[in-house]
Structure formats: C-alpha cells, structure tokens
Structure 1
Amino acid sequence: MRARLVAGVGVLLLAGGCGSRQAQVLPAAPPAVKVARCVMSFPDVRGARLARARLADDIARYLARRPGRIVYAVHDLVSGVTLGYGRHRDELITASGAKVDIVMALLARRAGRLDEDERDLAERMIRESDNRAADVMWARIGGSGAMSAFYRRIGLRRTTPGRGIYWGGTTSSPSDRIRLLKVLVKGGGGLSAADRDLVLGLMGRVQEDQAWGVSAAARRGDRVALKNGWTPRPFVHGTWAVSSYGRIAGPGRDLLLSVQTDLQPGDGAGIETVEGVARMIGTRWDGLTPTTRRPCPTNPLP
C-alpha cells in the first residue's frame, strides 16, 4: 500500500511538472527598416564649362556656313549663364526692332500717360510692325536727339539712333538689346511696372506673321515676347538686314536673346539663320548647367 502511494505521488509530481512547464516563445523579428540613402547635388563646374564651350563651337560652325555677318547674345536670368559672339558689335541696324525703343522712350517721358491715340500707335508699331505709326511716334518723341538721351538714361552705350526721320537706321549691339530687355523685365529708366507690362504684353502678342525669329528657342508652353526687324539695303550690294530679339521664359529658364544679321542675300536667308541659332540655343540650354551627385558626409558638423 505504501509503495503504491509513493508511486502515485511520483506520477502526480511528474504530471504537475509537465503541466507547469511553458513553451519557449521567441521574440518576433523587427520589421525591415528601409534607410534612405542621403545624396547631395552639386553644380558640375567642369561639365558646365565643357557644355557651354561645345555649344558655342557648334554655333560658330553653323554660322561659318551661313552668308553675311551674324552676331548674337543670350543671357539666362535664372542661371546667370551668358553666351554670345560679337556681342558688342554695334554697326548692325535694328530696322523695325527700334520700334520698341521708341515706345519705351515715350512712356518714360510721359510717365506712362499715353493718350488713346498713342496707345493705338504703340500697339500697331509692335504687334503689326506698322511703319507709318512709327513715323508718327518718332516725331512725337523728338527724333534722334530724344532717343540718344533715352539710351544714355537706360545705359545703352552701343546704340545709336537713326538720323533725321530714319528711325529704322538705328544701330545696336546684341549686348545692348539684352540690356534693353533687362530694363523691360526688371525695371529702370523711369519706366513703371505698368509701362513695362504694356510693352512686354504687346511683344507677347505680335501677329502670327511677326512671330518668327528668336521664338524658335521656345519649348512647348514657354512664353515668348519679341520684336523683329528686317529691311532691304539697296545701297549695300542689294543685301538685307534681319534681326530678332526677345524673352523666352518657362520652367527653369528665362532667356533674353538677340540675333542680328546683315549682308544677307534675302530676308528668307536671314530669318533662317536667326532661327537656326535660336533653335540650337533653346534645344541645348538645359544641358549647360549639369549637376553631380555625392553621398552626404557621414559625420556632419554640428
């Protein structure tokens, strides 16, 4: 009986021990954490220098195959990049390009207070390139003497107004055309914001037959404001002068561009050259400011 009792107690102890022992539970593995790689972007100075040199060389090769004299300048208000050839050559005539100058000069003199007739003349001069309207406004502003004073006022040192009644004989350089556009965009010369908006607005709404030229640099959706000039030169071997300048603005860029030509065999050849230069610039401009990527410092300074 005693042996049976001891055996029973052993069985109970063994059973109790088994029942009280809990299964081991391993801790759950933590979820995988994705660590973002820290990368910093820096301007690629060497790459930018090479890209700009290549573009300038390619434009030079293109111009070497084109007739006449061709000069150009481009400045980006966003990146600050400037390119050009013959930027300070100031003997090329602007022809109808001077019509913007005349309107700006009259606005500066009148503190923006143009009457209804003058506003109509300004619209016809810029949007339609109406020569008769320009004749009236040239006389109203005071001709070449008044224009010389205006050019000095806005810092155009390489622009000379046409003599007498010939406003179309005004000569200018690409660098001065860029300076003129900067005044329209950023201010100066006594022009109010409303004055500048008026002129740029007219340049942005030229008639379709006036919209050629530096507009070839525009991407889809870019805003374009321009003025073109073209004229036969019967006393210069029957050649033509053709020019175009304006603003082409859109995401990541705000280009001020001027392309001027003379000694062209015809207006068509001049237009083709102007648009060829503008197209090369517009297509390749974004590649002129490359960046390089590097890992962030592992021990940044506090």
Structure 2
Amino acid sequence: MSRNRFRGSTLSASVTAVLLLAGSAAGGICLAGRSSDHAPRASASVSSVPAAGSTAVPATTTEEPTVDFDAALAAAVEPLLTDVGDAEVSVAVLDTGSGARAVYGDGAYDTASIVKVDILAALLLRTQDEKRALTAGERGYATAVIEWSDNASATALLRAIGGMEGLDAANERLGLTGTTAAHAWGLTQTTAADQLTLLEAVFGTDSELSEGSRTYLQGLMGQVAADQQWGVSAAGSSWALKNGWMPRTTTGLWDINSIGRVKADGRTYLVAVLSGGQRTKETGIALVESVAKAAVSVLDAAR
C-alpha cells in the first residue's frame, strides 16, 4: 500500500552489520546497495602512478553499503496492518541527530486536529512579519487550541490568519508541498512527509519561524491535556505533541493522527503518523502508537 521515496543514510559497514543482525531478529530490516539521495557518493580510492621499474598496484574501489530506511520502515509497519480492516496508515520519522529519515506511504489524509499546529504556526509567522507579539486574546486562543484542542479557538485563529488562503500561503513558506487547506479545517488534506516538514519547522533551527516562535509552540505542545497524551508519546519520553481524532459522518470510521517530538535512548526523533478508516478511536490510537514505536525503532537500530 506504500509508494515510498528512498531517503537512506550511509552507514559504516560495522553499523550495517549490526542493523542486519537486528533486522534478522525482528524479521524486517532490509539493506540496499544503492546510494542515498542525501548522502555523498561513495568515494573511489585509486593508487598513485608507480615509479618506473616498480610493480604496479591495482586500482581499488571501496564502496560503503547503505541502508534503505524506507524499505526497513515498510517491513516494520506492514505486519502491524494485518488485522485493521480497511484502515490505512502513513508515517514519517526523522533522527534529528544523524539526519536519517524514513517515510512509509505517500497518500493524503484528513488532518483532523493536528492542523491546529499548522494554524498557530501561520499566526506566528504573521506576527513576525508585523513585528509584534501575540495579543492577550491570541495567546488565549493559542493555549486552548494546542493544550485543549479547542475547536472554536481553531476557527478563530484560522480567521485571524486569513482563512484557507492564509494557511496555504504560510504552508508555502514552511515548505509543505502536499497540504491543502479546507474551510472546515479538520478536512485539510496533508501527508506524513509534509507533517514531518512542519515538525522540522517547529523543532529545528533552519526555519521560517523565529526562535521565540518555535520555543512558544514547543512549550504548548509539551503541555497537552492529560487525556490527550497518547500517540507518538508511546515511542519515547520527553514528548511534545499534538493529536487529531475525528469520526467521519458518512462512514462512522475514524481519522486518528499524531505528530510530535520524542526522545528514545538518548536520541531525539520527530514522528508523524496519519491514519484513516479506523473502526474505533481506541483501535486507531493503538495502531498509531504501535506504528510510531516501529518507526523510531527502525532508526534507533541503525546506531
């Protein structure tokens, strides 16, 4: 069900061997001998020209094996989908330290309430452009929309940024190429890869968002209400997240999404899991959490 893009990272032969052993035990890590589109080309080492009368040394070429993290992620996720009916899932993960990333699935999904991070990011971009701080009212809406997932506050902030057009314009600045805003904001369409790009804008340093804006948004995502602390948080600790959940009236099935940052084994990961067609909210949460844990484990095993 996945049409994944290859985004591998070049590893040393010794690390690759560890990953191969770990994958054999887990039944799913795949290795590929092709170069990553993000890694430098494997270098060729050639001996110098021999002096006259000396014995020539044959030229040697060394090539480090690479890991196809997309394939490894697919192998880890697909066994989790054997008993989920018609539900679909997509996930994207990034190790912020090494830069290794992987994506499973390239379809578009309803955002449900994860779009509230996007809406607030758009508002923060606007205040930066206007060289002003958030008003007291905007701060109230921002707290309610992220920590409590308040829908009325999201509608108010969407109006403040110029509606659908304002959100689309902000997403262009943030580098989201597969996200299309909807007037009914929960029906905004997005991809896991785009949500990972959004997380990089919020938690990274190379961002249109200022340091102050990033710190503010991160703080809110680290204080969501207790009954909303599920999802990607299952994959580690020191989380900061936003979840989305929405039953579709036409089918009675659920959209269940989770995006955020977690720490595991001393590493920091950004994770975005999107899903649709879930039978219940509870089964959807369980699947999203298992997929998030699988995604982090794939990159963690590469160490």
- Asked if 1 retains the 8 angstrom alpha-carbon contact of 2:231 and 2:292, the reply is yes
The 10-residue stretch of structure 1 (275-284 or 96-105) with the greater mean CA deviation from structure 2: 275-284
What is the CA-CA distance between 1:189 and the residue it aligns to?
A: 5.3
Pairwise CA RMSD of aligned residues?
Answer: 2.0
Report the residue type matching 1:85 in the other structure: Y
Report the residue type matching 2:201 in the other structure: V
Report the residue type matching 1:232 in the other structure: P
Tell me: CA distance 1:49–1:113, structure 2 relative to 1, closer, same or farther (3 Å): farther
3-state SS in 2 of match to 1:216 = helix
The corresponding residue for 1:57 is 75
- Does residue 44 (structure 1) correspond to residue 15 (structure 2)? The answer is yes
The structure whose RCO (Cα within 8 Å, separation 6+) is larger is 1
The corresponding residue for 1:224 is 239
Q: 2:126 aligns with which of 103, 109, 112?
A: 109
Report the residue type matching 1:145 in the other structure: E
Report the residue type matching 1:93 in the other structure: D
Q: 2:276 aligns with which of 248, 262, 270?
A: 262
Matches within 5 A, 1:127-206: 127-162=147-182, 164=183, 166-187=184-205, 190-206=208-224
3-state SS in 1 of match to 2:178 = coil
- Asked if 1 retains the 8 angstrom alpha-carbon contact of 2:88 and 2:277, the reply is yes
Aligned mates of 1:188, 1:105 — CA distance in 2: 16
- Does residue 274 (structure 1) correspond to residue 288 (structure 2)? The answer is yes
Aligned mates of 2:163, 2:20 — CA distance in 1: 44
The 10-residue stretch of structure 1 (72-81 or 141-150) with the greater mean CA deviation from structure 2: 72-81
What is the CA-CA distance between 1:276 and the residue it aligns to?
A: 1.3
Give TM-score, length-normalised by structure 1: 0.75
Aligned mates of 1:147, 1:49 — CA distance in 2: 43
The corresponding residue for 2:40 is none
Aligned mates of 2:119, 2:283 — CA distance in 1: 27
What is the CA-CA distance between 1:57 and the residue it aligns to?
A: 1.5
The corresponding residue for 1:69 is 88
What is the CA-CA distance between 1:266 and the residue it aligns to?
A: 1.5
Matches within 5 A, 1:16-31: none
Count of aligned pairs: 241
Tell me: CA distance 1:142–1:270, structure 2 relative to 1, closer, same or farther (3 Å): same
- Does residue 89 (structure 1) correspond to residue 89 (structure 2)? The answer is no
Aligned mates of 1:283, 1:153 — CA distance in 2: 31
- Asked if 1 retains the 8 angstrom alpha-carbon contact of 2:95 and 2:299, the reply is no
Q: Determine what percentage of the aligned residue pairs are the same residue.
A: 37
Report the residue type matching 2:120 in the other structure: V
Deviation by residue 1:202-254 (Cα, 9 ceiling, x = unmatched): 00111111111010001xxx31011000111012x221111001111355311
What is the CA-CA distance between 1:277 and the residue it aligns to?
A: 1.2
- Asked if 2 retains the 8 angstrom alpha-carbon contact of 1:216 and 1:282, the reply is no
- Does residue 247 (structure 1) correspond to residue 261 (structure 2)? The answer is yes
The corresponding residue for 1:233 is 248
- Asked if 2 retains the 8 angstrom alpha-carbon contact of 1:79 and 1:253, the reply is no
Aligned mates of 2:209, 2:300 — CA distance in 1: 32
Deviation by residue 1:245-291 (Cα, 9 ceiling, x = unmatched): 111135531111011110111111111100111233445653222xx
Report the residue type matching 2:193 in the other structure: S
The corresponding residue for 2:48 is none
The corresponding residue for 1:79 is 98
Aligned mates of 2:258, 2:198 — CA distance in 1: 13
- Asked if 2 retains the 8 angstrom alpha-carbon contact of 1:154 and 1:188, the reply is no
3-state SS in 2 of match to 1:110 = helix
- Asked if 2 retains the 8 angstrom alpha-carbon contact of 1:56 and 1:83, the reply is no
Deviation by residue 1:106-129 (Cα, 9 ceiling, x = unmatched): 110111621011011101000000
Report the residue type matching 1:223 in the other structure: S
Aligned mates of 1:250, 1:196 — CA distance in 2: 22
Q: Which runs of 5+ in 2 are unaligned?
A: 1-11, 24-28, 31-71
Tell me: CA distance 1:174–1:113, structure 2 relative to 1, closer, same or farther (3 Å): same
3-state SS in 1 of match to 2:91 = strand
Report the residue type matching 2:163 in the other structure: G
Report the residue type matching 1:249 in the other structure: K
